[in-house]
Amino acid sequence: MPRTTNQQQKLHVRKGDMVRILSGNDKGKEGKILRVYRKKGRVIVEAVNISIRHTRPNQLYPQGGRIEQESSVHISNVAVLDGNGDPTRIGRKRIEDSSTGKGHWVRIAVTTGEEIDH
């Protein structure tokens, strides 16, 4: 049954997560997620998938020229790192607060069982 209220895609990664690249030219590199594009299913990882953009002179770059910047990587090609620095799959667990009776979901590493959310 399709979603009716929340149309956003659930993703296993968030901004600020440390990830390892699983495939492509940058396979094996690690970095922090700088930006997540939910609708496209892509992420920008720090110092990974660098491309060169040519630009004219402007206020930010008075000389213009070639600028290196990160390009996006598909979400399926990254794996979150657990506390030991190993790539892991992500599970979800509901944590109940006994005093208020309310709960919230947290992400856990399947390999170690520890919480990933900061």
Q: How far apart are CA 61 and CA 13, in angstroms?
A: 33
Q: How far apart are CA 9 and CA 112, in angstroms?
A: 25
Backbone angles phi, psi at 40, to 5 degrees: -85, -20
Query: What's the pLDDT tens digit per position in 86-105?
Result: 999 999 999 998 888 899 89
Q: How far apart are CA 96 and CA 10, in angstroms?
A: 21
* Cross-strand partners of 1: none
| pLDDT at residue 43, as a whole number | 97
Q: What is the pTM of this model?
A: 0.84
Q: How far apart are CA 49 and CA 30, in angstroms?
A: 11
